[in-house]
Structure 1
Amino acid sequence: MAISATVHTFAVQLADVDRGVYEDFELRVAQHPSETTEYLVTRLLAYCLQYEEGIVFSEGGISATDEPAVQVRDMTGRVTKWIEVGAPDADRIHRGSKLAGDAVVYTHRDPAKVLAGYAGKKIHRAESIPLFSFDRTFIDDAAAAVQRRNTASISVTEGELYLDLNGTNLRTEITEQSLA
Structure 2
Amino acid sequence: MALKATIYKVNLNIADMDQHQYTDYQLTLAQHPSETIERMMVRLLAFARFANEQLGFTQDLFETSEPALWEKDLTGQLVTWIEVGYPDEDKLKKASARCNTVAVVSYGSNVAEWYKKSSKIKTLSNVQVWQLSQATTEAVAALCQRTMQLQLNILDGEWNLISDHGQALIEWTQIQ
Normalised by the length of structure 1, the TM-score is: 0.89
Q: In terms of mean alpha carbon deviation, does 66-75 or 107-116 score higher?
A: 107-116
- Kindly indicate whether residue 127 of structure 2 is the aligned counterpart of residue 129 of structure 1: yes
- After TM superposition, the structure 1 = structure 2 runs for residues 151-170 of structure 1, keeping only pairs within 5 Å, are 151-170=149-168
Query: Which residue in the other structure is 1:61 paired with?
Result: 60
Query: Which residue in the other structure is 1:70 paired with?
Result: 69
Give the Cα–Cα distance (whole angstroms) in 2 for the partners of residues 68 and 61 of structure 1. Answer: 5
Tell me, which stretches of 5 or more residues in structure 2 are unaligned? none
Tell me, which stretches of 5 or more residues in structure 1 are unaligned? none
Query: Which residue in the other structure is 2:11 paired with?
Result: 11
Q: Deviations over 1:104-162 (max 9, x none)?
A: 111122331231231x3x34852442211222112112112211111111122333210
- Kindly indicate whether residue 100 of structure 2 is the aligned counterpart of residue 101 of structure 1: yes
Query: Which residue in the other structure is 2:90 paired with?
Result: 91
Give the Cα–Cα distance (whole angstroms) in 2 for the partners of residues 33 and 100 of structure 1. Answer: 29
Give the Cα–Cα distance (whole angstroms) in 2 for the partners of residues 38 and 117 of structure 1. Answer: 24
The answer to whether the 8 Å contact 1:87/1:109 transfers is no
> SS at the partner of 2:23?
strand
Question: Counterpart of 1:10 in structure 2: which amino acid?
Answer: V
Query: Which residue in the other structure is 1:38 paired with?
Result: 38
Q: Deviations over 1:15-35 (max 9, x none)?
A: 123444311121110000001
The alignment's C-alpha RMSD in Å is 1.7
Taking a change above 3 Å as real, the CA distance of residues 39 and 88 of structure 1, as seen in their structure-2 partners, is same
Number of residue pairs matched by the alignment? 175
Question: Counterpart of 1:74 in structure 2: which amino acid?
Answer: D
Q: In terms of mean alpha carbon deviation, does 47-56 or 5-14 score higher?
A: 47-56
Q: Deviations over 1:66-97 (max 9, x none)?
A: 21100010000111011111111101111111
The answer to whether the 8 Å contact 2:108/2:133 transfers is no
Give the Cα–Cα distance (whole angstroms) in 2 for the partners of residues 157 and 93 of structure 1. Answer: 31
Question: 1:177: Cα distance to partner?
Answer: 1.2
The answer to whether the 8 Å contact 2:71/2:81 transfers is yes
Query: Which residue in the other structure is 1:174 paired with?
Result: 172
Taking a change above 3 Å as real, the CA distance of residues 126 and 19 of structure 1, as seen in their structure-2 partners, is farther
Q: Return structure 1 stretches of 4+ with deviation > 6 angstroms.
A: none
Taking a change above 3 Å as real, the CA distance of residues 100 and 127 of structure 1, as seen in their structure-2 partners, is closer
The answer to whether the 8 Å contact 1:159/1:173 transfers is no
> SS at the partner of 1:63?
coil
The answer to whether the 8 Å contact 1:16/1:49 transfers is no
Q: In terms of mean alpha carbon deviation, does 70-79 or 101-110 score higher?
A: 101-110
Normalised by the length of structure 2, the TM-score is: 0.91
Give the Cα–Cα distance (whole angstroms) in 2 for the partners of residues 159 and 115 of structure 1. Answer: 24
